[in-house]
Chains A and B, each alone.
Chain A
Amino acid sequence: MSKIPLTSISKPTKGAVGFTGFWRSFKPVIDQSKCVHCLQCWLYCPEGAIRRIGENLLNVEVDYEYCKGCGICANECPVKAIQMVLEE
């Protein structure tokens, strides 16, 4: 069994405490037709739960397995392309 370190440490790992998406009450839904590809949502997301996809990685999508639904992306979006929708 590996030994404990001197102080508690953690390494960058995807989902070290499991899927956190189920904490969510509201989910961010991106209206791709309004998106201007400014990437503010990606920059501001505190959980790294916005993924950059597509050509030149300029399109965005939400990683719902880890998004906690804090709504910061919707708040920061300059063109109101993200709506917070109550989870069913």
Chain B
Amino acid sequence: MVLSEVLTGNYAVAYAAKMARVQVIAAYPITPQTTIVEKLAQFVESGELNAKYIRVESEHSAMAACIGAAATGARAFTATASHGLLYMSEMVWWAGMGRYPIVMAVVTRAIGPPWSIWTEHNDVLAHRDSGWIIFFAEDNQEVFDLTVQAFRIAENEKVLQPVMVTLDAFILSHTAAPVLMPDQNQVDEFLPPPGSRKLPYRLDPNNPITHGNLTYPDYFMELRYEIMRAMENAKQVIIDTGRKYGEMTGRYYDGLIEKYKCSNAKAIIIAMGSSAGDAKEAADLLRDEGYEVGVIKMRTIRPFPFEELRETCRNAKIIGVVDRNYSYGFGGIIHGEVKSALNGLKITVQNFIAGLGGRDITVNDFINMGKKLIEMADKGLGEQPPIWINLKKEVIP
């Protein structure tokens, strides 16, 4: 039986974690993530979820507790955002490099100063090299679906890397929308029984070992090489998991990117997170006016979808990458990565910076970007410096 509920993005995460039967939750509150772990606390308190709920003194400890739990083979979950993620950073890397299949929801939020509670992707992207698989969700349904899939991907023996499911602050985290949820029996069949992983490196008092010991240069690189291979394996595992999930729910997730009207597009807009939906709506309206615009939604940024991007963009004239982030002294982060993926193809890759600190990126903004791209392609213009969307030039000294 399919259950339909009107849920905020945060509650969608909590329901998914409950249905995945997480065994250990380590929680420290931070806006706009707090209602995820609040809801889970409620589930544990009411007896709906049989899990150990650990209230820790910081995000650093939250991830450390998850690592300890995962090291024994338990299914562990936590959630954080922004400054909490940065405070957790050392343990985020420890989880990635130690290969603990933890699932974490990150509500994307700008990093201060100036203080902000609204969405931006720099918090997550600061951890793009940490060995975590990183998903960006477009809507609350995808938030739920990705969180369930995340456990299956993380615990796959060809992967065994932690997974971040990210959702944009307030636009998803606190906005309610209908979410379809499969039956608990279906989820039980979809995921391996929690704690069933009998890994050779599992902590076990009857066979005592420690993890993370000093490793001399003779073997360090080989351990890192294995993580590289695990992330390459993850590409196919993510695709297979999305298909399997589709068989169960009818909602198929078929790749590391989602292609929307790209097959004959002159210009393709690349977006991620909640604004991808607005980009798709803009593409519809642009198509009505005769502009050949398509949209690529980045579902994962790690592993990075090199092959799919090259294949999809091959016949376009121009690509516009919309970055809700900035690497100061470099440019939009995803723009740089897309350019490296398209290296050698004769395609202009234009960067747009939009929506920093939670500023809206509207359908109209995407329409303007699409028209700009078509104009550049028609005039044969090359790449310009990053274009900051809706920048209030009049207030800049």
A7 in contact with B212 (CB, 8 Å): yes
- A9 close to B (CB within 8 Å): yes
- B199 close to A (CB within 8 Å): yes
Q: Looking at A8, A11, A17, which has the most chain B CB atoms within 10 Å of its CB?
A: A8
B121-129, B215-223, B363-371: which lies at the interface: B215-223
A7 in contact with B208 (CB, 8 Å): no
Interface string of B205-229 (1 = CB under 8 A from A): 0001111111100010011001000
Please name all residues of chain A whose beta carbon is closer than 8 Å to the beta carbon of B226 when the two chains form the complex. Answer: 4, 6
Q: How many residues of B contact A (CB 8 A)?
A: 18
Contact of B219 among A4, A6, A16 (CB under 8 A): A4
Please name all residues of chain B whose beta carbon is closer than 8 Å to the beta carbon of A17 when the two chains form the complex. Answer: 214
- B388 close to A (CB within 8 Å): no
Please name all residues of chain B whose beta carbon is closer than 8 Å to the beta carbon of A8 when the two chains form the complex. Answer: 98, 211-213, 215, 219, 223
Contact of B208 among A4, A5, A11, A16 (CB under 8 A): A11
Q: Please report the C-alpha to C-alpha distance between residue A4 and residue B215 in the assembled complex, in whole angstroms.
A: 11
B99 in contact with A9 (CB, 8 Å): no
CB distance from A2 to the nearest CB of B (A): 11
Interface string of A1-38 (1 = CB under 8 A from B): 00011111111100011000000000000000000000
B208 in contact with A12 (CB, 8 Å): yes
Q: Please report the C-alpha to C-alpha distance between residue A87 and residue B201 in the assembled complex, in whole angstroms.
A: 41
Please name all residues of chain B whose beta carbon is closer than 8 Å to the beta carbon of A4 when the two chains form the complex. Answer: 219, 222-223, 226
Q: Please report the C-alpha to C-alpha distance between residue A8 and residue B212 in the assembled complex, in whole angstroms.
A: 5
Please name all residues of chain A whose beta carbon is closer than 8 Å to the beta carbon of B201 when the two chains form the complex. Answer: 5-7, 9
CB distance from B77 to the nearest CB of A (A): 20
Please name all residues of chain B whose beta carbon is closer than 8 Å to the beta carbon of A10 when the two chains form the complex. Answer: 209-210, 213
B209 in contact with A6 (CB, 8 Å): no
Q: Please report the C-alpha to C-alpha distance between residue A6 and residue B219 in the assembled complex, in whole angstroms.
A: 12
- B113 close to A (CB within 8 Å): no
CB distance from A9 to the nearest CB of B (A): 5
Instruction: List residues of B (98-123) whose CB comes within 8 Å of A's CBs.
Output: 98-99
CB distance from A60 to the nearest CB of B (A): 24
Extra 6 A-B pairs, beta carbons < 8 Å, given A7-B99, A9-B209, A9-B213: A7-B211, A7-B223, A8-B98, A8-B213, A8-B219, A10-B210
**Chain B residues packing against A (C-beta within 8 Å):** 98-99, 160, 199-201, 208-215, 219, 222-223, 226
